[in-house]
Chain A
Amino acid sequence: ETGVTQSPTHLIKTRGQQVTLRCSSQSGHNTVSWYQQALGQGPQFIFQYYREEENGRGNFPPRFSGLQFPNYSSELNVNALELDDSALYLCASSLGGGVSYEQYFGPGTRLTVT
């Protein structure tokens, strides 16, 4: 069974640029959630995708957007990067549709905005 994978591991961007982060869900899972974790804080929910549709969104501006593909992998896009976007971005996969609520996390992408 393959776990959740994310790419890239680290990324350095300049304020105002755009970035795309990628996530492959665990085998058999159809739901992907994205979280932002600032240093010393717990993860904050960005949004969730279930069967290629956005299924819920946290308190993040529209410049945070996402996609889920037919193979259930997912992308997180952030436009017009700000210094406060520097964080660990976590992807979690689960088996949605009310079957199971347990979310399994990937290793994360560390984004630094300068």
Chain B
Amino acid sequence: EDQVTQSPEALRLQEGESSSLNCSYTVSGLRGLFWYRQDPGKGPEFLFTLYSAGEEKEKERLKATLTKKESFLHITAPKPEDSATYLCAVQPGGSQGNLIFGKGTKLSVKP
């Protein structure tokens, strides 16, 4: 069964304290792995797509990496405005395009 597990469920950081979020996946073939940011009561905002092991993508203070079994979202020197829930999703190979999401990691950054 295709499955995505994110850890930790919640993470509290001080401003400037770097850390990483984990996304482990079990999928029958991987068409792509996606990271989204979601603010309370709003739709997910697209961040990154990763397609193959070893691939890395960066955007401002965020960097996403991918291995054959997991992905990491590294946050360098976070700011309070980085506080949000970060969602990881996979698209299985051979799927009709549906995304399978994890439950997310809720990040709080204190000033």
Contact = CB atoms under 8 A, between A and B. Distances in A.
- Kindly list the 4 A-B residue pairs having the minimum CB-CB distance in the complex, ordered from nearest: A56-B96, A42-B101, A105-B43, A45-B98
Nearest to A107: B43
Contacts of A43: 44, 87, 89, 99, 101
B32 to A, nearest CB: 5
B97 A56 contact: yes
A48 B98 contact: yes
User: Chain B: interface residue count, which band?
Assistant: 20 to 34
B96 to A, nearest CB: 3
Interface of A: 4, 6, 31, 33, 35, 40-45, 48, 50, 55-56, 58, 88, 90, 92, 94, 96, 101-108, 110
A100 to B, nearest CB: 9
B45 interface: yes
Contacts of B49: 101-102
24 contacts: A31-B97, A35-B99, A41-B103, A42-B104, A43-B89, A43-B101, A45-B98, A45-B99, A45-B100, A48-B98, A55-B96, A56-B97, A56-B98, A96-B97, A101-B97, A103-B97, A104-B46, A105-B36, A105-B45, A105-B46, A106-B43, A107-B42, A108-B43, A110-B41
